[in-house]
Amino acid sequence: MIWNADNGDGTYTNPILYADYSDPDAIRVGEDYYMVASSFCNAPGLPLLHSKDLVNWEIINYVIKKIPEDRYEKPIHGCGVWAPSIRYHEGLFYVCFPMPDEGIYMCTAKDPYGEWSEPVNIRPGAGWIDPCPFWDDDGKAYLVAGVAKSRIGYKSVLYMQEMRDDGMGLLGEPVKIFDGNLNDQHTIEGPKLYKRNGYYYIFAPAGGVKTGWQTVLRSKYIYGPYEYRVVMRQGETDINGPHQGAWVDTVTGEDWFIHFQDVYAAGRIVHLQPMKWANGWPVIGRCVNNREYGEPVRTYKKPDVADTKYVKTEPQTSDDFKGRKLGLQWQWNANSNDKWYGFSKRGLVLNAVYKNSAYGDVPNLLLQKWPAPEFECVTTIDISELTDGDEAGVVSMGMEYGVLAFCRSGSGVRVHTVKGVQKFDNNLVSETKEDINEVTVLPKDTKEVYVKYVVKRIGERDLNEQERNFPEESVSVYFGTDGYTYEKALEMISVPGRWVGVKNGVYCVSEKDRTDGYAIIESVNYSR
């Protein structure tokens, strides 16, 4: 296994997912747990994970095949699908998600493993984010949401609005229910709404992703006024944030809280915390010195799920493509096109797609999340069917990215590396600089190449005076032609993408707008 939190002795060690499942929300339906997370401009969007015990998770589906709106045929880094929520009401699963420039969307499904409905924009327009639907005891429905300063000009405000009981539209006018600008809850966002013992509770992180805390609001009335309390802080632990997540319970009545931690290059990884109630307020994590708030735990006893059967598992990574379909671990850099790929007996066929942008903005990069703090990934590529001007290779994608390319060119196969840097302005890429370096030329009859992608933890880094002691990883990329001996071609210090962790994957492009060339990805194998 690459990363598994289950210690096998009735305990687990955080994080439960060392992968970039940012802004997680989760529910329990019977003995089953379902989790969704942000996906930004990557497609398919909105990964859906399943667990039986809150510790062992696997990917089971995506809620949307493509990101709504035509502009996502190209990567728009940091835009697209932000923090979603998932709920179950009267036999139907609901996933509500924001696109900060386009609106608030709703999808439904009777079977979470099956087809989800096409997304409906229930609140068109920019600015609202992090929505969560709620159905009250009297049959009325509501939506709580936050705001994005980058789109609306202000932040730290939560709104409540009545919703149609089918979840497919909003009613009346929004009501401002909490303003973190008026107190010490700046940057409050990510609200999740619940009801317990006659009180409405809104779990909402504040203070910022990397340095914040978890707050809970409480009121007897849906529109407030709400009192608030901080219920979890980083304290003396090394689990910074701790940020946005979900309250879930077990069949035995235990309460737990899922949240994320930003670890910089690897993205926003997922933790599981015990939760207790005291005087009508939750305390998340381990209570220290009888404080009103808890601190995150590192190792703890597993949730008591009674006789529920579970298997030790983790999100998918390696792929040999024998099933003639993409594994659920894969996402494209933008909305995909069926003409980009196919399958043969030997593996995944990547057609050479015309490249008219910098590598970081190529839509047909096929990527997956880093699965662990350290790992190796060996990719076997058949390049024999590339034609002149075509290339295939491996990419490490972040705001600073690296590429190892094999380019068919006349008398041989040119091997070159690319180091790229993206700069952003007004939420869009404003400038990209790329440094291209030729490594060697392989013989024209070279058929298979092997690429080893290695991530190593090399120390810690400070991002600024407040954001300190984050993991620092190196990325090294090697290549060979026999599967045994490798030559180092590229090394770089990892930098995350726009609100996402580094992803690694494969691609095939061409300098020609028409080509019959292609590469075959025979296998992708991960190991620790």
What digits encode the pLDDT tens for the residues 11-27? 999 999 999 999 999 99
Tokens of 384: 């024999």
Considering the domain architecture, whether residues 407 and 483 belong to the same structural domain is answered as yes
Provide the pLDDT for residue 118. 98
- What CATH number is given to the structural domain containing 497? 2.60.120.200
Considering the domain architecture, whether residues 281 and 345 belong to the same structural domain is answered as no
* Counts for the chain of helices (H) and strands (E), in that order: 1, 39
Reported as a single tens digit per residue, the pLDDT across 206-221 is 999 999 999 999 999 9
Provide the pLDDT for residue 427. 79
Tokens of 143: 């939506």
> In this structure, what is the dihedral angle of CA atoms 387, 390, 394, 397, given to the nearest 10 degrees?
-160
Considering the domain architecture, whether residues 376 and 420 belong to the same structural domain is answered as yes
Residue 86 belongs to domain spanning: 20-301
Provide the pLDDT for residue 61. 98
Q: 411 falls in which pLDDT band (50, 70, 90)?
A: confident
DSSP lists the bridge partners of residue 255 as 249, 275
In 3-state terms, the chain is what percent helix, strand and coil (to 5)?
A: 5, 55, 45
Q: How many CB atoms lie within 10 A of CB 10?
A: 9
pLDDT of residue 526 exceeding 90: yes
Report d(CA 364, CA 367) in Å as an integer: 9
Considering the domain architecture, whether residues 372 and 281 belong to the same structural domain is answered as no
Considering the domain architecture, whether residues 158 and 292 belong to the same structural domain is answered as yes
pLDDT of residue 375 exceeding 90: yes
Mean pLDDT for 318-323 is 96
Asked, for residue 263, whether it belongs to a domain, the answer is: yes
Asked, for residue 15, whether it belongs to a domain, the answer is: no
Residue where the block lists tokens 């970081």: 360
Cis peptide before 296 (omega within 30 of 0): no
Considering the domain architecture, whether residues 339 and 257 belong to the same structural domain is answered as no
Asked, for residue 453, whether it belongs to a domain, the answer is: yes
| Residue 181 zone, left/alpha/beta (φ > 0; ψ -120 to 50; rest) | alpha
Considering the domain architecture, whether residues 276 and 344 belong to the same structural domain is answered as no
Considering the domain architecture, whether residues 287 and 354 belong to the same structural domain is answered as no
CA distances from residue 51 to 302, 314, 366, 412 in whole angstroms, order as listed: 13, 10, 26, 49
Considering the domain architecture, whether residues 130 and 215 belong to the same structural domain is answered as yes
Asked, for residue 2, whether it belongs to a domain, the answer is: no
DSSP 366-407: EEEE--SSSEEEEEEEE-TT--TTEEEEEEEESSEEEEEEEE
Asked, for residue 70, whether it belongs to a domain, the answer is: yes
Reported as a single tens digit per residue, the pLDDT across 19-63 is 999 999 999 999 999 999 999 999 999 999 999 999 999 999 999
What are the catalytic residues?
23, 189
Q: 430 falls in which pLDDT band (50, 70, 90)?
A: confident
Report d(CA 364, CA 507) in Å as an integer: 6
Mean pLDDT for 159-184 is 97
Tokens of 262: 């930003």
State the average pLDDT for the chain.
97
Q: Which DSSP helix (H) or strand (E) runs through 450?
A: strand 448-461
Provide the pLDDT for residue 475. 98
Q: 290 falls in which pLDDT band (50, 70, 90)?
A: confident
Q: 426 falls in which pLDDT band (50, 70, 90)?
A: confident
Answer for the pair 508, 390: CB distance below 8 angstroms, yes or no: yes
Considering the domain architecture, whether residues 415 and 356 belong to the same structural domain is answered as yes
Reported as a single tens digit per residue, the pLDDT across 325-341 is 999 999 999 999 999 99
Report d(CA 251, CA 459) in Å as an integer: 41
Q: 178 falls in which pLDDT band (50, 70, 90)?
A: very high
DSSP 103-159: EEEEEEESSTTSPPPPPEEEEESSSEEEEEEEE-TTS-EEEEEEE-HHHHS--SEEE
Domain total of the chain: 2
Asked, for residue 322, whether it belongs to a domain, the answer is: no
Mean pLDDT for 66-88 is 97
Among candidate residues 301, 318, 341, the one where a domain is terminated: 301
Asked, for residue 139, whether it belongs to a domain, the answer is: yes
Provide the pLDDT for residue 28. 98
CA angle, 393 then 490 then 484, to 5°: 70
pTM: 0.97
- What CATH number is given to the structural domain containing 28? 2.115.10.20
Q: Residues with Cβ < 8 Å from 299, sequence gap 6 or more?
A: 7, 11, 12, 13, 14
Tokens of 169: 């539209």
| Residue 39 zone, left/alpha/beta (φ > 0; ψ -120 to 50; rest) | alpha
Asked, for residue 7, whether it belongs to a domain, the answer is: no
Considering the domain architecture, whether residues 291 and 402 belong to the same structural domain is answered as no
Task: Give the 3-state secondary structure of 239-299.
Answer: CCCCEEEEEEECCCCCEEEEEEEECHHHCEEEEEEEEEEECCEEEECEECCCCCCEECCCE
Among candidate residues 283, 301, 319, the one where a domain is terminated: 301
Considering the domain architecture, whether residues 392 and 516 belong to the same structural domain is answered as yes
Q: 410 falls in which pLDDT band (50, 70, 90)?
A: confident
DSSP state of 73: G
Provide the pLDDT for residue 359. 98
